[in-house]
Structure 1
């Protein structure tokens, strides 16, 4: 009896089987033969592979002290506090990063002082330096998303600036990876401020925003329509000194963490949306879920101020990052801990080098993708 090899299968059946293999494994097989090398770059195959990739393939990252580290396992499943974080190695090379964001397995990396902007696929190792139209400015912020109609990846550059009359305005530009070009979007006068870096869900970017008159709200940038859209948050606050941090739950839902830090409240509340539809058009907050944590229960030496977090909705716990001075000696540390209503466990603590507001730790999870950058 002859044994059939995968190469003997019809092309359609071979493609269907390979589409179910995690992208990271496929990336290691791309040099096996020319047919596979070509297949793994086919946008239709890449899209099918993303939809069929198992959640078991999810990976995690930590940004700490301007460096990116790979973390073993899926940090969304953070209920097991018996094991410390296992770092698989440093991923960033020659980049002094102060923030990263991700979309579809692609990372958007901003270097310190916006000296450079890089799109990076950690699965394939591809990187692309994004050159500015003229120059980047220190106030610039960036978001990565895609256009639903063409699946074209785009970068939004936005920033708050003053004109000659000392009037504030928001300046926006759009970069398209397919054409390697920038173009201006219409600038506008803002009546709000952005309180945190954006997070990507279904190709669009969401921000926590607010103003004195309107309080906190959710701001979405629609990359297909190329416009900002205001949406509600599950809480009301008119104190601009409150903190609101967003996170994405398994690429399906949005969650928000709210703290009233300046009122010396050590209570954190996290809400989560229902599953957001494929087009990202419908967003509603669960009425039966809120994770409330009073950190005073755990007799911590300093007030908690969450910089980033990941929510395990099923176990009702969160993995949080912040910067603290536990011994009140002016020595700040990056701290990661797992917390629930009745539990707290610190799992990481690291001295900060060159402490600043732009050096907050950040955790994220993503499913590796074969998306081709160039």
Structure 2
């Protein structure tokens, strides 16, 4: 009788590349040769780059879910079906996660109670719990990157609007925290993207005076270099920000940075997508990827605190993942993905719901912070974390 180990190698590879990344761990246990093959070769990355689909991870009702959006039919015919698949990751059934951060095929998961961090390689099925040096706090922000020797590190920071800050870095290889004494040259936004090991933050000047006009503050990018363990110089954005615009970052193949910019005005909600031609810790140049007038399509501005996005360069479309802004009259907030093209192509699909609840001590008239819906487009890796 023929067994799985007797199948031709080409057929085995074809089978394995069609298996969802989060299911590989169960498949590995069925056959020793398949287990060895998937841990030696990055079959998931080959599949992700070959197939016309978006793969990512998101948090939904404090659970981690895998997201797969197959849009091979887009831009051919309005009747074409766009296939969306969202599945809760069984690994997190017993733990609540507030946000997910992605870098180099690894996911850094922040627990809802802020007691621990979980580093996870979905492709290899490896996990590592990380304890705090002293404490983790709800306002903490995190970044995941690596240095030129491929040593992975976690940056943890708290940065308030009055200029106070606290930074520390965790070395995955040595399992140790170290306090950093740097003072950042700006107020860091919670949204960031890691490219080639370094993390880029959307940032602005700090408010020296409480009554300063926010529209007068300069906005820019800041890069944290995980080799030097310090920030680089300010990098310019391809537009001027007045204070009420929606701005968020995304990665393109983990090589380029993309930025979504939507300006609020009385007569339009113009959406712009810019992509870097060149980027490093101390230099950047930009090209406009897409510009769309959104008023006839949605009629509203995307939620600055929750929106995330990804682009498809070949199809010239942007996938925008958004959640309704806080509304005290609603018990749930709707999550939606929008597929937008420059020639008027537009589709929208509801992807989920989040309970509209408040954390203890928050003020009822203050907007609630929401993590970005989708961490970024995911590419598997063979990085060992155990």
Conserved? CA contact 2:188–2:202, under 8 Å: yes
**What per-residue deviation string (whole Å, max 9, x for no partner) do you get for residues 159-199 of structure 1?**
1259xxxx6322111100110000111142x5532234211
**Aligned-pair distance for 1:310?**
0.5
**149, 167, 172: which is aligned to 2:167?**
172
The question of 1:83 aligning with 2:81 is answered: yes
Cα distance change of structure 1 residues 353 and 63 upon mapping to structure 2, 3 Å threshold: same
**Aligned-pair distance for 1:77?**
9.6
The question of 1:112 aligning with 2:112 is answered: yes
Conserved? CA contact 1:259–1:265, under 8 Å: no
Unaligned runs of 5+ in 1: 1-5, 8-13
Distance 2:309 2:345 in 1: 16
**What per-residue deviation string (whole Å, max 9, x for no partner) do you get for residues 124-163 of structure 1?**
2211111001111122111110011x2111000111259x
**Count of matched residue pairs:** 342
Q: How does 1:1-374 map to 2 (within 5 A)?
A: 28=27, 37=36, 55-56=49-50, 59-72=55-68, 82-87=80-85, 89-91=87-89, 92-148=92-148, 150-160=149-159, 168-188=163-183, 190=184, 192-211=186-205, 215-229=218-232, 230-237=234-241, 239-261=242-264, 266-274=269-277, 280=280, 284-287=284-287, 289-298=288-297, 300=299, 302-305=300-303, 307-324=307-324, 330=330, 331-341=332-342, 342-355=344-357, 356-358=368-370, 360-362=372-374, 364-374=376-386
Is the partner of 2:164 in helix, strand or coil? strand
Distance 2:326 2:72 in 1: 26
**Considering only aligned residues, what root-mean-square deviation do their CA atoms show, in Å?**
3.7
Conserved? CA contact 2:249–2:308, under 8 Å: yes
Query: Which protein, 1 or 2, shows the higher relative CO under an 8 Å CA cutoff with sep ≥ 6?
Result: 1
**Aligned-pair distance for 1:326?**
12
**Aligned-pair distance for 1:366?**
1.3
Is the partner of 2:243 in helix, strand or coil? coil
**What per-residue deviation string (whole Å, max 9, x for no partner) do you get for residues 251-272 of structure 1?**
2211001123487852221100
Distance 1:215 1:282 in 2: 17
Cα distance change of structure 1 residues 170 and 187 upon mapping to structure 2, 3 Å threshold: farther
Conserved? CA contact 1:78–1:312, under 8 Å: no
Conserved? CA contact 1:117–1:131, under 8 Å: yes
Is the partner of 1:87 in helix, strand or coil? strand
Conserved? CA contact 2:63–2:97, under 8 Å: yes
- Segment of structure 1 superposing worse, 175-184 or 87-96: 87-96
Is the partner of 2:308 in helix, strand or coil? strand
Is the partner of 2:254 in helix, strand or coil? coil
Give the TM-score, by structure 1 length: 0.77
